[in-house]
Amino acid sequence: MTALEKKFVPVMITPYNHKMDVDLNALSSLTDFYLAAGVDGLFANCLSSEMFSITEDERLRLTKHIVAHVNGAVPVVATSSFGPIIEDKAAFTSKLYDTGIVAAIMITSHFAKIEESNDALLNNFEKMFSLTGNIPLGMYECPAPYKRIIDAATFKTLLTANRLTYHKDTSITHENVKAKLDVLAAMKNNSLEFYDAHTPNALYSLKMGAKGMSSISGNFYPEILVWLCKNATNPEKQEEVKWLQAEITRVDPLIHQAYPLSAKYFLQKRGLPIETISRVHVLELTADQKKTLDEIHNSFLGWCERLGIKPVV
């Protein structure tokens, strides 16, 4: 893969069995599904994985299982900044890195309280850097416990430490995305890869210089996002690219409803052995929600037919 090629990295969900335990067999099938779709990496133990609803041991076990199952086919990253103090976050980061991930991802809101300044965040990140040796780290503007968007100036300061290799952006607005991408472009020797999490931003971000996408839509139709990332800057595919961007933008608010239960229903509909069980959403999907997802599934099949994509399952 050349530096110009774009990547799609899905945020993995966690399958459970009827006892509400992590279903490792289903996780293996799900991992194979992502790989067959052509993804370029995997983001394990993230918000889509219900990381705040699983134990520390489960976070380690599922991440280790994914790394072993992938067996080097694609890189795996995972969220590691858990614990009440920085020392605890660093200790768990070391444990998680030992599972074989290529980078441990830091939730930005874990490094400053909502009322604290960016100076407090920078001080805590600096401490984290000093406690984690040479472990490659990344940032994740996770919506929980609250969304801490990194502004361009803070982004630049963090990059100068040369410890960050990955950034998952959730700032949504084109202005915020462009400001950070401009910082990254100016630091020509920086190895950080920038991934946008907002599906409606895909075409814009990819054309502005993002390395790729890492959005929840990959838990519904990863083949579509892989195709879009590979063709976003292809001058011969711009008509199809713009049409597809409009289509996935149209359905994006709908797939977010009751997520990740919505994704589990969709994947089950696609043939994966995944139960519609979540520790986050205890209620079943409504009949109307299922009908909406059924309609999106029909749209997905239409997208594949028009673009010449063979659905994985």
Report the CATH number at residue 102: 3.20.20.70
The beta-carbon contacts of 111-117 under 8 Å, at least 24 apart in sequence, are: 111/81, 111/148, 112/148, 114/146, 114/148
The pLDDT tens digits of the residues spanning 274-283 come to 999 999 987 8
Is 92 part of a structural domain of the chain?
yes
Is 22 part of a structural domain of the chain?
yes
pLDDT at 219 over 90: yes
The pLDDT tens digits of the residues spanning 31-76 come to 999 999 999 999 999 999 999 999 999 999 999 999 999 999 999 9
Is 249 part of a structural domain of the chain?
no
Q: Give 55's contacts (C-beta < 8 A, 6+ positions apart).
A: none
* pLDDT band, residue 205 (cuts 50/70/90): very high
Is 230 part of a structural domain of the chain?
yes
Under DSSP, the state recorded for 116 is S
Average pLDDT, the chain: 96
DSSP, collapsed to helix, strand or coil, labels residue 292 as: helix
pLDDT for 22: 97
Is 38 part of a structural domain of the chain?
yes
Q: How far apart are CA 6 and CA 230, in angstroms?
A: 6
Q: Give the Cα-Cα-Cα angle 107, 110, 112 (nearest 5 degrees).
A: 125
Structural domain for 91, as ranges = 7-236
Work out how many domains the chain is built from and give that number.
1
Q: How far apart are CA 251 and CA 258, in angstroms?
A: 14
pLDDT for 283: 84
Between residues 283 and 265, which one has the greater pLDDT? 265
Which pTM does this prediction carry? 0.96
Cβ(90)–Cβ(128) under 8 Å? yes
The pLDDT tens digits of the residues spanning 114-140 come to 999 999 999 999 999 999 999 999 999
DSSP, collapsed to helix, strand or coil, labels residue 214 as: coil
Cβ(127)–Cβ(85) under 8 Å? no
Is 268 part of a structural domain of the chain?
no
Q: How far apart are CA 149 and CA 121, in angstroms?
A: 11
